[in-house]
Every structure is written in C-alpha cells, then in structure tokens.
Chains A and B, each alone.
Chain A
Amino acid sequence: MSILSPVAWVGRTGIRIVGSVGQAGFLAAGAVRALRNVTIWGPNLVPQMVAVGVASIPIALFIAAFTGIVLALQASYTFTGTVPLYFVGALVGKTIILELGPVLTGLALSGRVGANIAAEIGTMRVTEQIDALESLAYDPVAYLVVPRVLAGLVMFPVVVVFAMAMGIGSGWLTSLGLLDMSTPQFVRGLRLFFETFDVQFALIKAASFGLIVTGLGCFYGFTCTGGAAGVGRSTTRSVVVASMMILVLDAFWAATLLRS
C-alpha cells in the first residue's frame, strides 16, 4: 500500500459521488419528462398512494404517540418549579409540529417506504423486469418512478398530519393522566406560541421528505446491479442516504424558512 492510497480513495469516492449525482439528475430529468405520459403512470398512482401513504399511517401514529408521551413527561420534568406547567402544552405542540412530527415520520418512512421502493425496483432491475417493461413499450421511469415520487410528495404531508394530531393528542392525554394538568391548561400552552405558519412549514418539510425518500428509493433501485446482494446494498444505501438527506433538508428548511 503506497501512501497515496488514501488520496486515491478520496478521488475514487469523489468520482463515485459525482457520478451518482449525475445519474440521479438524469433520472430526475427523465421523471419530469415522463410526467406527460399520464396513461402510463396514472393507473399506478392510487396503488402507490396506498402503499406509500395509507399503509404508513399506523407506524407514523405509533411513533407519534410515544413521542407525545415522552415530550409531555420530559417537559414537565424540566419545568417543575420554575416555569408554569401549561408550558408543557406549548413545548409538546411546538416540537411536534415544527420538528418531531415531520422528521421522525420522515425517518421512519425512509425505512418503510424508501427501502421498500429500492428493494422492489432493484429486484425488478436485476430480474430484467425493467427491461421487460421497456420491451413492452413502457417507459419504466413513467411507470415506476413517477407514481411513487408523486405519491410520496402528496402522501407524506398527509401522514405527517396524522402523526402531528396523534403526537399532540397523546401529549395531551399524558398531561391529563400523569401530570395532573387540566385540558384548559394544556390547550392554553398549546395555543400560546402556535403560528399557522408552523403547520405550513411542517407540510413543506414533509413533502420534501416524501420527494427525497421516494426519489432516492427509485434511484438506488434503478441503478441496482449484482443480484440479491446488490438489491440488499441498494436498499441499505437508500435508507442511509435518505435519512441523512432528511436531516440535511431539515436544517436547510430551518435556515431558509425560519430565519426572519
């Protein structure tokens, strides 16, 4: 091993990343172009909305329920004595709506939805089903990518709404049951710092997470090579990269939309 091998590694990695970005851009451009083939992606949209959105609601609700409980308990633990207890409502509401609702749901769905898409499309790639689609005059990008990405874009915000409602609801029940707070107290805190913009912000974030999770799932599925092992690699990579991108996007939106 020469001392240059780390340098070579950096170079290789850099080239690979640039190559991937290029390929992803190519796929994205193909997806935009494929939008006009409504007859191809149209019939797949509703099933994908079910798979990406409706089927994700239970896991999102589960996560949100426990998040709400934990937030309420931790808030009361932190506030006791110094800050009035109704701030529990403010903290639960603000945190769930602005941050944890979209981000935790996004992370969970990058596992559920992103991995599913990467594995499914990756399998189709290695078993030549994508070639078969092309041979039958289907644009595979229109048939596979467009409905999934559109479903993600539309359904992630819907799922996040359910999660936010659940998180606030469970935080409220926790405050009533375990914290000796009253509903008016909780609601007062909830309303104290509420801004309608918070919800818009959360939904914008959720839509961008939907785009990135489904888009990356499709990308890693499409570029999958090497049989079952390759599908496994693509799936893992899709989840890892999508999770990182969710956090990066989260910071990006906070930096662009929250700074006044």
Chain B
Amino acid sequence: MSIELKGVHKAFGASKVLQGFTLDVQEGEIVTVIGPSGSGKSTTLKTIIGLLEPDEGEVWVDGENVHQLGLDALYALRRKVGYVFQFAALFDSMTVRENVAMGLRRMPGLSEAEIQERVEDALSRVDLEGSGARFPAQLSGGMKKRAGLARAIALNPRYLLYDEPTTGLDPLTVTMVDRLILRMRDELQVTSLVITHDIESAYRISDRIAMLFEGQVLEVGTPEEIRSSESSRVRAFVEGKPELLEDHQ
C-alpha cells in the first residue's frame, strides 16, 4: 500500500498551482519533495488527505481513491494518516497534552489511561516531556513544531505527511527530527512524504527526492541522482545558486 498522485491539477482562481503532479511513495519509503516556496508543496499534501479537492487527476492512499470516498470512509482513512502542519496548527484553546490526545480520542477502543500513556510517549519522542501542561501560546516556534509532530506520531499512523518539519529549528533539533522520521520508518514501517527546504536533511533521510517546479515533478531520484542531476534548475535549487538558472535562460 502506498501513496500515489496521478496527474493532479489544482488552481486557486487564476493561479495554477499544480499542473499534472505525478508521484508515488512506496510502502515504507521516505520520499522528500523539494521546491521553491509557493510552488505548491503544501497544496500537494492537503490534496492527499482530502483537505483540498484536485481539479483534475487522482490521489490514491492505502489503495483508495481519496476523492471518491464518502465522508465516513474519508475520516476512517484520515485515522491512518498523520499530518504535520507547516505552522503546527495547534489548537490554541488546549494544552499541548490535550492537543496530542485529540487524535487519539477518535481512535475506537482506547481507554483514557492508554491515551495518556501514548501522549506522554509521543511528547518524550520530541523532547517535550515537561511541556505537556502548557498552552501553545506559551511555546517557542520550535516547540510548537515539535508538539505538532507529537500530535501526528501519537496516532501511530501508517502514513506520515510532514510539511517542512525542520524549518526554523536549531541544528540539534533538526537532527533529532530527522532521526525521528527515520525511526518511524524503521520501527513502524511508516510510509512518509516529507516536504522540506533543508536539502542536507533531505539527503540524510530520503529514499528518493522529488523536485517540484511549476506544478510538476521536474525530477525524481535517489539523493545521489539528485546531487548529480543534469538539470540546471535542480542544481540551482539544491546548490542554492540562482546564477545557474540565469545561465539556463
């Protein structure tokens, strides 16, 4: 079972964000999507769990066509997918602990004690053991990000979608998050789709990397293949050299 996007198109009014996006993530694989800001990476992730409806194309998750599902089936599918939001999207009326417990409360057959146990486990995985009683407004940006991460992994999902999980974190925490992503794959065989700007971290964690450009996957390959890409656009992005783009033009 896997995640599969087939020729997805999505436009917001006149701006065409996705224009035939095609990508698949095999079971247990970590695929990273890189690309400039505003190129539609977050949009892609949202179409995967049905937060956004693609104008064209299909999205398959866990063997099901996401946008053909009825409401109940869609919510059932979402229970299998963890989503780490770019800006954490913590519920600011609740403590961190309650935030993390939210998803668990929708899991059938979990006792309150089991929920608390899993909340503490998730918090300790992101080094937030001591902050469970705090409200999101009392956290730093990096802590919020980790709390959002904890909320997603607490579900023990089969799929994890990370939207820029390391952006804005200090280098130590970046390493911690990278290791967490790997561990989720290694210990729980989680299938992961990671969006990142951090090319080094992409090299470290990815089985494959996809470069998103102008609404399409420009190139997809192993970290080595991307590193040695022929495409000047890919090289400009991964090496951070805009002049390569100018050469190309």
Contacts and interface: CB of A to CB of B under 8 A. Distances in A.
A and B touching (C-beta < 8 Å)?
A: yes
A132 B78 contact: no
A196 interface: no
Contacts of B155: 136
Contacts, number: 54
Nearest to B91: A129
A138 interface: yes
Nearest to A132: B89
B81 interface: yes
Contact of B78 (A123, A127, A129, A135): A135
Contacts of A133: 91, 102
Contacts of A250: none
B185 to A, nearest CB: 20
Given A134-B49, A135-B49, A135-B78, A128 B89 contact: yes
B106 A139 contact: no
Contact of A136 (B71, B76, B78): B78
A98 to B, nearest CB: 38
A132 B75 CA distance: 12
A139 B71 contact: yes
A215 B213 CA distance: 41
Given A128-B87, A129-B89, A139 B49 contact: no
A139 B89 contact: no
A168 B89 CA distance: 48
Nearest to A123: B92
B83 interface: yes
Interface in A99-145: 123-124, 127-129, 131-139
B75 A139 contact: yes
Contacts of B103: 136-137
B146 to A, nearest CB: 15
Contacts of A136: 78, 102-103, 106, 151, 155
A131 B89 contact: yes
B85 A137 contact: no
Interface residues of A, number: 15
Contact of B89 (A127, A137, A138): A127
Contacts of B193: none
A131 B151 CA distance: 14
Given A128-B89, A129-B91, A129-B92, A135 B106 contact: no
Interface string B75-110: 110110111011101111000000000110010000
Interface of A, helix, strand, loop or mixed by DSSP: helix
B34 to A, nearest CB: 21
Nearest to B81: A135
Nearest to A43: B105
A128 B46 CA distance: 11
B69 interface: no
A132 B82 CA distance: 10
A231 to B, nearest CB: 13
A137 B91 contact: no
A167 to B, nearest CB: 34
A137 B106 contact: yes
B139 interface: no
B92 to A, nearest CB: 7
B106 A138 contact: yes
B51 interface: yes
Given A137-B103, A137-B106, A139-B75, A132 B83 contact: yes
Given A129-B92, A131-B89, A132-B91, A138 B102 contact: yes
A13 B79 CA distance: 41
A123 B87 CA distance: 13
A137 B90 CA distance: 15
25 contacts: A123-B92, A127-B92, A128-B86, A128-B89, A129-B89, A129-B90, A129-B91, A129-B92, A131-B51, A131-B83, A132-B83, A132-B85, A132-B89, A132-B90, A132-B91, A133-B91, A133-B102, A134-B51, A135-B81, A136-B102, A136-B103, A136-B151, A137-B75, A137-B76, A138-B102
Interface of B: 46, 49-51, 71, 75-76, 78-79, 81-83, 85-87, 89-92, 102-103, 106, 151, 155
Q: Which 4 A-B pairs have the closest CB atoms?
A: A135-B83, A132-B89, A128-B89, A136-B103
